[in-house]
Amino acid sequence: MYDLVIIGAGPAGLAAGLYGARAKMKTLVLEKEKKGGQIVVTSEVENYPGSVENATGPSLTKRFADQVEHFGAEIKKANVKDINLDSKIKEVICDDETYKAKAVILATGASPRKLGCTGEKEFTGKGVSYCATCDADFFEDFEVIVVGGGDSALEEAMYLTKFARKVYLVHRKDTFKAAKSIVEKAQANDKIEFWLNKEIIEIKGDGILESVLLKDTVTGETSEYVADEDDGTMGVFIFVGLIPQTSLFEGKINLENGYIVTDTEMRTNIEGVYAAGDVRVKTLRQVVTAAADGAIAAVTAEKYIDEHFE
């Protein structure tokens, strides 16, 4: 029996674990993959307040995890296959064991939807990015390609024009899902060039990203775009949607477009169950906001436990 079980060991889950443990709650953090969530594949983390110079995703994650364990929380690798939220005592059912808890924090995150093309995985963090806010300044005065046709793709393309000297927006159709006002604003930006009816089928390079292979979705013709010789590299920013990791909670908790609905105190519609980080409905998905969510969720859970359990 635990006071608090947290599912997910990204920044939200680890921050919740830290605040839970410091509040003297018996706290367990469960993670099926690597600790750190999306930041574990980030080569540099410059926008987390107070992070040391040359901080990387793995180094920041290690500091998070070490701090959590220093204050007494347990971090276990486990695959959660079901969850029972119907009774006062919650059950988190894993492959090998079932954990009981007075309160549960869901911090399973959301992962960027991938293109699935050759080279995408190999060049993630070496030219391929899914976050302009995180990585735009690495491409100051370089050329970048943005992939996508929704609000986020066009908004991020406009954001990237503050850094890159040229932004090429690749979209597999000739119409956009983005709001008309956003499309018009992007079209009026002279630093953005639209490559419509095209898709990236391969990302190439020798150690760093150097070119992309494009396919015309109408004619089937292929072409290669190579980074400027003086630059040697370029950025590819992919914004084709996020996938919230909530399949486990469908039918058990209120969701909106797959994301968990919470109030400002991270409460869900079920008493004693909270959500934090990228998995919940929110406007900004960053390490700093995830960590803040986790802290709030743990403090709210502590108050709930104090009020409902002797």
Q: Is residue 191 part of a domain?
A: yes
Q: Which residues of the chain have pLDDT under 70?
A: 40-44
Q: How far is the C-alpha of 286 from the C-alpha of 47, rounded, in Å?
A: 9
Q: How far is the C-alpha of 267 from the C-alpha of 272, rounded, in Å?
A: 8
18 in Cβ contact with 9 (< 8 Å) = no
- The single residue listed with the structure tokens 């574990």 is 40
215 in Cβ contact with 221 (< 8 Å) = yes
Domain boundary among 195, 221, 238: 238
Per-residue pLDDT, 41:
60
**Residues 107 and 246 placed together within one structural domain of the fold:** yes
Sign of CA dihedral 299, 303, 306, 309: negative
**Residues 166 and 73 placed together within one structural domain of the fold:** no
Q: Is residue 133 part of a domain?
A: yes
**Residues 94 and 12 placed together within one structural domain of the fold:** yes
What does the block give as tokens for 74? 């347990």
How are the residues of the chain apportioned to helix, strand and coil, as percentages rounded to the nearest 5? 25, 30, 40
pLDDT in tens, 103-143: 999 999 998 899 999 999 999 989 999 988 788 999 999 99
**Residues 144 and 231 placed together within one structural domain of the fold:** yes
Domain boundary among 192, 219, 238: 238
Q: Is residue 120 part of a domain?
A: no
Q: Which domain holds residue 191?
A: 128-238
**Residues 174 and 141 placed together within one structural domain of the fold:** yes
Per-residue pLDDT, 39:
73
**Residues 40 and 9 placed together within one structural domain of the fold:** yes
Residues 6+ apart with CB under 8 A from 195: 168, 169, 170, 171, 214
Number of domains in the chain: 2
Per-residue pLDDT, 42:
63
Domain boundary among 238, 260, 277: 238
**Residues 12 and 155 placed together within one structural domain of the fold:** no
What does the block give as tokens for 292? 């803040």
**Residues 52 and 83 placed together within one structural domain of the fold:** yes
Q: Is residue 118 part of a domain?
A: no
Residues 6+ apart with CB under 8 A from 130: 38, 112, 124, 237, 238, 239
Of 114, 88, 120, 82, nearest to 101 (Cα)?
88
**Residues 47 and 186 placed together within one structural domain of the fold:** no
CATH classification at residue 46: 3.50.50.60
15 in Cβ contact with 77 (< 8 Å) = no
Q: Is residue 67 part of a domain?
A: yes
Please give the full DSSP string across 19-76, using - where no structure is assigned: HHHHTT--EEEEESS-TTGGGGG-S---SSTTPPTT--HHHHHHHHHHHHHHTT-EEE
Q: Which residues are catalytic?
A: 131, 134-135
Please state the separation of Cα 207 from the chain's center in Å. 25
- Taking CA atoms, 14 is separated from 21, 122, 165, 285, in Å, by 10, 27, 38, 16
DSSP-assigned beta bridge partners for residue 110? 244
| Count of Cβ atoms closer than 10 Å to residue 154 Cβ | 28
**Residues 214 and 232 placed together within one structural domain of the fold:** yes
Q: Is residue 117 part of a domain?
A: no
Per-residue pLDDT, 55:
79
**Residues 201 and 147 placed together within one structural domain of the fold:** yes
Report the relative pairing of strands 110-112 and 98-106 from DSSP bridges.
unpaired
Per-residue pLDDT, 20:
98
